[in-house]
Amino acid sequence: MRTLVTGGAGFIGSHVVDALRFEGHQVSVVDNLVTGSRSNLPAGVNLIEVDIRDQEAVTAAFEDLRPSVVFHLAAQTLVATSASDPFRDAQINVLGTLNVLRAAVAVGAGKFVFASSGGTVYGNAQQQPVPETHPLDPISPYGVSKVAGEHYVRVLCGHAGMSATILRFGNVYGPRDIPESHHVITVFLDALLNGEHPVIEWDGEQAKDYVYVGDVADAHVCAITAGDGEAFNIGSGREVTVNEILRLVSAEMGISITPLHRERRAADVRRFLLDCSKADRMLGWTPTTSFAEGLRQTVRYYRQQAQTRRRHALTLR
């Protein structure tokens, strides 16, 4: 099957590419390489360097590739950036999504899978674990843009007769993330590997649902043939505090260091835990990677990356 992954050279997107290839699908990628990297992609994957805000370029790419299934992961994902520049956030996450949707409809794609954010579309959830039926009440421009994207996917795909599935991620972690994402596990690892004090924002007792990137990628594969017309929470079903994460990361690294503390980030929620039972029932998906194992895999990757950088630096001397 011909598949296309927007944002496929990025952190989550590149793992989706791997999972699709493992299942034997033909995969192409559209990415502007601002936060993604060609090195995240295996040999043989067709990469078209396109910014999803460029309607003509997106349309041309889709006409060339003519995918049967589209996985839309390209996005501006920083909550703080969305607050400081909501216009740019909307350009990428709303207008960019419209460009991708219109191009998918134009070439007759059969399925559209949209990456949304369970951590932001529900806002300060009044029910824990949070089910998909909870009201969408975002408290950040990023969350607003994701809710808008969900509605555009639902309406435009419905009008075109194209199947669609929405996946609302928990806090995704794992190999290939970058410190610029501001994801806490990656930021902690980056600080510890560079001999710096990790920074805990708020009091560290905020607890979130952390899900391993490989499990998230598997959910996308499940969505090819299931979940039409539905939205699904994709999380671990377990919450971990920031303080506990630092303790576990430090233990895995064999490092003991006193963290610094800063004020709460704007639009950060105190707690969210996703109810993923619907994904189990209707997608046939359930997470299989424990937090301990996912953390081990993540630490191993970043240690290897740090060693590679050190060896490279030595060869340049």
User: Catalytic residue numbers?
Assistant: 142
Alpha-carbon span 229 to 165, nearest angstrom: 6
CA 190, CA 196: separation in Å to the nearest integer?
8
What gap in Å lies between CA 114 and CA 231, rounded to an integer?
9
Q: Which residue stretches of the chain are H helix?
A: 11-22, 55-65, 79-84, 86-90, 96-106, 118-121, 141-160, 184-193, 213-222, 242-253, 277-278, 291-315
DSSP class of residue 47? E
Beta strand 69-72 with 46-49 is: unpaired
Residue 91: Cβ within 10 Å count = 16
3 state SS of 274: strand
Which tokens is 262 given? Answer: 């800063």
Cα dihedral angle (30, 34, 38, 39), rounded to 10 degrees? -140
Phi/psi-derived region of residue 138, left when phi > 0, alpha when psi is between -120 and 50, beta in every other case: beta
Distance CA 182, CA 265 (A): 11
